[in-house]
Structure 1
Amino acid sequence: MDKSRTCSFVSFNCKSIKRSADHVRQLCHSSDVIALQETWLFPHDIQFLSEIDDRFGSTGTSAIDTAAGMVCGRPYGGVALLWNKSVFQNVSVINCDNPRICAIKIVLGDRSILVFSVYMPTDTMLNLTEFTDCLSSVSAIIDNINIECVYILGDFNAHPNERFYEELTCFCDEQNWSCIDVQFLGVSSGTYTFVSEAHGSNRWLDHCITTKSAVSSVLNVLFNN
């Protein structure tokens, strides 16, 4: 990879990768790494990720437990990462052991970075423990691999000044991480990443978290609503 080249990282809650495949293919033309949430893939369908664009490598998780037999209702959950193989030629998949988290290690010459895609539970008191456990799992993976430059993209279900956002902010402060999208745009900017079909309300649920070493590498933050 040309070290002077600017790379584009994108996060997209696709609400079924099969239904949104054409849109993800469009993202592949302008992005180098794509973090996906709510892929809604069964375990045996993960291979579908590699069929979206043959220029891109892929990894993903399924949140659907088929061990109990027949699954009722629509699919749910799941995260994935796609990366441009011509831009990032040395990539390894990290075992996260959590259906809400997937990660890759990218080696760029003498430097390595970690990229995560995460999908957090909805903001309720009952889900608070799972939310903090997911953040702790990400932190543990980073500590275990010992890479300083890290990007954590995804749907955190953390709207500014609400419970999960406050928890996320406290965790970032403890870890010396930055919520880089809020840092760039401002918590009172009116930014939103989700529009509720039921209520018509706008929510800023998706974020990009970076470690201290990665902050200076972020040149811009844009949202496409």
Structure 2
Amino acid sequence: MDMSHTPLSIAKERALTSCTYNSTGLGDRQRYFIAEMLSAKKPDVLLLQETWLFESQLTKLSSLHSDYIAHGVLGMPERREFIAGHPFGGVAFLWHRSLAASTKIVRCENNRLCAIYITMDTTTVLLVNAYFPCDNHSKTSVDAEYQAALDSALCLWIESDADVVIFGGDLNTDISRNNAHSHALNQLAHNINSDLAWRCSEAQQIDTFISSDGKGRSCIDHFVLSQSISHNISFLNLCKICSDAGTSCFPVSRPNKLSRPKWSERMKPYKDDALFWDSVWKSCDKPHDGIVFDLRQNTKREYHYALRQYKREERALHRERAASQRERERERERERERERERENGRKHDVIR
């Protein structure tokens, strides 16, 4: 779960509170979580990444919370043919209705970015929300797609006449890494006269991403701020609502070694496919027809068929082993009987 939260003093007697959150879709549990977070934290602006929405579904953003206005960029084009994966993920802004009159949407050429202007007193703020490609962990080479996203952010800054720039979101690299992507992100911050918020004195840096197995941890969600306001951060940390709301709306699973089936490795490909397409189906709001629905049904059917087939094989093998064990027991019993008969014969000879 990725989220960070920061209030900034920008205009006189006015702070701007913003959050960034990678939702990995907008299914029922994600919408519930976002609504709970907005009600609890009441940020002025929420930056969302990986909404996984088609253009026809962007209206869902406006229904996330009645106190917020939304603007989003589609992550997947509306096509008839099947689309593999989530090419851009989709990004969106939600801002409080109290800022409605002072907010203006900015057009972006790159679908990994969306931007808005907010005017506070006499100060104009450009907010840029980004979902960057994954880190390639190369020491020397920056992926072309990652560089293109950085260049698009730089162009927004160059073309803007805003007094302050706030650039944030899931930037998919940890600034502590000594590799090409982290260097490129640091160079962007330098080029736009900005600082990374995690480096400010009031920041409480923490891992914003933890892998499902708990082994992979990193800080990949960032705010990049104009140097003129970076010293005005009140605090920057991981939202407490993450752990509170996450407990109630995200299922928690714990491995149970005692009940782990012996056939888990053989069934893993079928299970992984079924779980993947089930998650895609849920992120698409559970359609009742179409290719995503069909793929979910087919992979689920294949998984259960393979599971039944393997269980039949296991039962047949168990019966065969049990029969072999019974035959060995009978053979041992016959051998013991023969031994008793030989012993009785020897005793009979002695008596005679």
Asked if TM exceeds 0.5, the reply is yes
How much has 1:214 moved relative to structure 2? 2.8
How much has 1:197 moved relative to structure 2? 1.7
Runs of 5+ consecutive residues of structure 1 not aligned to the other structure? none
Distance in 2, matches of 1:128 and 1:57, equals 34
How much has 1:173 moved relative to structure 2? 1.9
Distance in 2, matches of 1:46 and 1:190, equals 33
- 1:24-35 aligned at under 5 Å gives the runs 24-29=34-39, 30=41, 31-35=43-47
- Residue by residue, what CA displacement relative to the aligned partner does 1:2-58 show, whole Å, maximum 9, x if unpaired? 952433200000111234111111222221100001111111101110111122111
TM-aligned CA distance change 1:184 to 1:80, over 3 Å? farther
Question: Residue 88 of structure 1 contacts residue 108 of structure 1 at CA under 8 Å; is this kept in 2?
Answer: no
CA RMSD of aligned residues (A): 2.3
Question: Residue 42 of structure 1 contacts residue 75 of structure 1 at CA under 8 Å; is this kept in 2?
Answer: no
Give the secondary-structure state (helix, strand or coil) at the position aligned to 1:136: helix
Give the secondary-structure state (helix, strand or coil) at the position aligned to 1:63: coil
Which residue among 3, 6, 12 is the counterpart of 2:21? 12
TM-score by length of structure 1 reads: 0.88
Question: Residue 151 of structure 1 contacts residue 214 of structure 1 at CA under 8 Å; is this kept in 2?
Answer: no
Aligned to 2:147: 132
- Residue by residue, what CA displacement relative to the aligned partner does 1:146-169 show, whole Å, maximum 9, x if unpaired? 113011110111112242222211
Which residue among 178, 181, 204 is the counterpart of 2:198? 181
Matched, 1:71 2:82: yes
Amino acid corresponding to residue 137 of structure 1 in structure 2: S
Which residue among 103, 120, 123 is the counterpart of 1:91? 103
Instruction: After superposing the two structures, state which structure 1 stretch, 167-176 or 49-58, moved more.
Output: 167-176
How much has 1:66 moved relative to structure 2? 2.7
- Residue by residue, what CA displacement relative to the aligned partner does 1:108-151 show, whole Å, maximum 9, x if unpaired? 23221011110000012586222122122112112212113011
TM-aligned CA distance change 1:179 to 1:43, over 3 Å? same
Higher strand share: 1
Which residue among 105, 109, 114 is the counterpart of 2:121? 109
Give the secondary-structure state (helix, strand or coil) at the position aligned to 2:147: helix
Aligned to 2:130: 118
How much has 1:98 moved relative to structure 2? 1.5
Distance in 2, matches of 1:4 and 1:33, equals 18
Runs of 5+ consecutive residues of structure 2 not aligned to the other structure? 1-10, 243-352
- Number of residue pairs the alignment of both structures matches: 221
Identity of aligned residues (%): 22
TM-aligned CA distance change 1:25 to 1:127, over 3 Å? farther
Question: Residue 125 of structure 2 contacts residue 164 of structure 2 at CA under 8 Å; is this kept in 1?
Answer: yes
Question: Residue 132 of structure 2 contacts residue 171 of structure 2 at CA under 8 Å; is this kept in 1?
Answer: yes
Which residue among 112, 124, 143 is the counterpart of 1:100? 112
TM-score by length of structure 2 reads: 0.58
Aligned to 2:336: none
Higher helix share: 2
Matched, 1:161 2:173: no
TM-aligned CA distance change 1:185 to 1:196, over 3 Å? farther
Which residue among 224, 232, 238 is the counterpart of 1:217? 232
